[in-house]
Chains A and B, each alone.
Chain A
Amino acid sequence: MRFHFKTSYDHDIRLFPDWWNFSAYGALLLAMVSLPLLLDSFFLSEVTNVMIWAVAGLGLMLLTGQTGQISLGHSAFMALGCYTCAILMNAGVPFLLAFPLAGIITGVVGALIAVPALRLHGVYLAIATLALAIITEDIIVILRQWTGGVNGMLAPDIVLFGVEVNRYVNPEYWYYMVLAIVIIVTLIYRNLLRSPLGRAFAAVRDSEVSAQAMGINVARTKTIAFGLSCAITGLGGALMGLFAGAFNNETFTFLIAIQLLMMIVVGGMGFIHGAFLGAIVIAFLPQGLSIVTDSFRWMSVPGLEFGVFGAILIFFIVFEPMGLYGRWLKIRTWFELFPFARRDMFRRQKSYLKTERVR
């Protein structure tokens, strides 16, 4: 069992609570940096894919996990980020500028959409964003002049500091680029969580009335959360499109948005780790399934991937609503307290639903 001895307020504010924690993440970083030496290009691009999903997932996590607003339409913002980045790059803007710009534009558009959308509660917001995701596919076709419509677009070449980054020529460069982006996004996320804004997000999630009584402008906080969430997801979308090499109106369907949501549920709602764990599941599930169906022919049926995914998700919501990361926390606590952990320590509280509607 570890104890935290706190000697100053900075202990609580720091990114890493103690040396043990700091060295664990240091070791992880070292492992990630040396990964290209260990893996061949196929697995390296798989890991890159995981990290890209994680970026998109962090975006949605900020909205759903932190602020408690559900969105089934984040594929729209992935598409927006992707097309904005590609169009900017085709217009001659260097990647290093086009990429963050794509994030900012997506964020601003997201915040504008949020203004009317966030007056809606829970389910209504889910439906509105779902509709948004569906019309996005049609809007891309309507705007074919810029987007290429059904024929799609080829991802422009990325040039970073005079070096071309191509996933087939030098996959390790792509990997490092995504790794750097993931780290930056994660740090921003962490910084927000330890700042007043991050706490305002949690306040809005848990009790809007009370948040107002503490001086939080609920509408504004939600709008900022939506904007930030869209910006990050837009970055994820840009990476996904560029990594795929080509994209069209069917690359970012509403099913992607739903996958994104399922991913953060399986990973663990409200935890940064959850976005990464969920990304691992979502990126490796198709591979894992194809390995299984290769050895068991009879299992090879169309639509298997989504069916299995749905089943996994139901399993998690019923048995482990806190996701993989929640499960890990429980296991860790169990070992830390060994042998004093009790079964009912983690039992869900009995709760009753009470409506906020009058009629």
Chain B
Amino acid sequence: MSLLELKNVTLKFGGVTAVNDLTMSVEEGQVFALVGPNGAGKSTVFNMISRFYTPFAGSITFDGEDLLKLKPHNVPRLGIARTFQNIELFERATVLQNLLVGRHRHRRTTLVEEMFFAGRSWREERAHRHAVEEVIEFLDLQAYRDKYIMGLPYGVRKVVELARALASKPRLLLLDEPASGLSVEETQDMRWWIEDIRRQMGITVLMVEHDMGLVGKVSDRVLALDGGKKLAEGTANEVQKHPKVIEAYLGTGAISKTASATGERV
């Protein structure tokens, strides 16, 4: 059984069909990439998995559990963490506090315990710190630990987003354009991290990404979307060479001219 399965999922906004009869499955331990031009419905897929949107038809299951029965705040409890395309950090809190919010799904203490910092509070809080410090070390965020998000540069924020998602110790990590807006070196770092996340931590990764260079290097399986429909699925190489994909990116008639352009940034 696959870890994440979408079956015949369709979502409409008013008259526009954002996702049309999409079926896909992500296996445990994979790095799975969604690619496609702007407006292809990639982020919409993420938002359906996070339960911000409810599909019109179809089913989404995670490890056999029906995601569509859950409210958005219950999704992370299953072990699904995500980042956002436009960075949604808690601006008026420090990096450390942001990561600790990522631990929220592991909260065991009750309101009364927290009010008096009694009972399990100390033990739990230490455990949260321990987990968070591991992530900080993994992503080299020590220098920013006690800094407020408000003043941080874009590249660092991007990493903090990843760190916050990792702090929750997820089974499935959804990365919404992890490399967008990053410099060449930062993208390189992101690549190693994604590989380590999969290899060392054993976390399954589903990502949306435009940078085909990055996608080609890290992903096991790639799915190309356009207009909410699946165009092609396979390895990065297969998808890039798929005529429908080239057509979607460059328009009809461009296929013969650009067959050699694959592997470039699309």
B-binding residues in A (CB < 8 A): 9-10, 12-13, 188, 191-192, 194-200, 202-203, 205-207, 209-218, 224, 270, 349
CB contact between A224 and one of B74, B111, B122 (< 8 Å): that residue: B111
State in angstroms the CA–CA spacing of A324 and B101 once bound together. Answer: 28
* Contact between chains at B126 and A191 (CB < 8 Å): no
Question: Restricting to B99-151, which residues have a CB under 8 Å from any CB of A?
Answer: 100-105, 107, 109, 111, 114-117, 121-122, 125-126, 128-130, 133, 150
User: Knowing A12-B129, A194-B117, A203-B90 touch, does A214 contact B84 (C-beta < 8 A)?
Assistant: no
Chain A nearest CB, measured from B200 CB (Å): 22
Beta-carbon contact of A199 and B100 below 8 Å:
yes
Check B73–A207 contact: CB distance below 8 A. Answer: no
* Cβ B115 vs Cβ A188 within 8 A: yes
Chain A residues contacting B128 (CB-CB under 8 Å) are: 196
Instruction: Quote the shortest CB–CB distance from B171 to chain A (angstroms).
Output: 14
* 14 A-B contacts (beta carbon < 8 Å): A9-B125, A12-B129, A197-B111, A203-B104, A206-B91, A209-B52, A210-B89, A211-B90, A213-B81, A213-B84, A214-B81, A215-B76, A215-B77, A218-B73
User: Given A196-B103, A270-B92 in contact, is the A214-B168 Cβ separation under 8 Å?
Assistant: yes
Number of interface residues of B (CB under 8 A): 44
**What's the Cα separation between A214 and B160 when bound, in Å?**
14
Cβ–Cβ < 8 Å partners of B71 in chain A = 217
Q: How many Cβ-Cβ contacts under 8 Å join chain A to chain B?
A: 111
A283, chain B: closest CB distance, angstroms: 27
Q: How far is the CB of B135 from chain A (nearest CB, A)?
A: 14
- Do A206 and B93 have beta carbons less than 8 Å apart? yes
18 extra interface residue pairs, beta carbon distance < 8 Å, beyond A213-B88, A215-B104: A9-B133, A10-B126, A12-B96, A13-B126, A191-B114, A194-B117, A195-B114, A196-B103, A202-B92, A203-B90, A206-B89, A207-B88, A207-B89, A207-B91, A210-B88, A211-B101, A212-B73, A349-B150
- Does residue B97 face the partner (Cβ distance < 8 Å to A)? yes
B84 to chain A, nearest CB (A): 7
B50 within 8 A of A: yes
Question: B residues touching A (Cβ–Cβ < 8 Å)?
Answer: 50, 52, 71-77, 81-82, 84, 88-93, 96-97, 100-105, 107, 109, 111, 114-117, 121-122, 125-126, 128-130, 133, 150, 164, 168
User: Would B114 and A196 count as touching, CB distance under 8 A?
Assistant: yes
In the assembled complex, the CB of B62 is this many whole angstroms from the nearest CB of chain A, namely: 14
Contact flag A13-B122 (CB < 8 Å), given A213-B82, A215-B105: yes
Beta-carbon contact of A200 and B104 below 8 Å: yes
Asked if residues A191 and B116 are in contact (CB atoms below 8 Å), the reply is yes
CB distance from B78 to the nearest CB of A (A): 10
Complex alpha-carbon distance, A192 and B91, angstroms: 19
Q: List, in ascending order, chain B residues with CB within 8 A of A9's CB.
A: 125-126, 129-130, 133
> With a CB–CB cut-off of 8 A, which chain A residues contact B104?
196, 199-200, 203, 214-216
Query: Which residues in A have their C-beta under 8 angstroms from that of B88?
Result: 207, 209-210, 213
**Chain B residues with CB below 8 A from A13, complex form:** 122, 125-126, 129
Which residues from B are CB-within-8-Å of A218? 73
Instruction: Return chain B residues, CB-CB under 8 Å to A195.
Output: 109, 114, 117, 121, 125
Closest to A13 in B: B125
**Other-chain residue from A194, A207, A209 in contact with B125 (beta carbon distance below 8 A):** A194
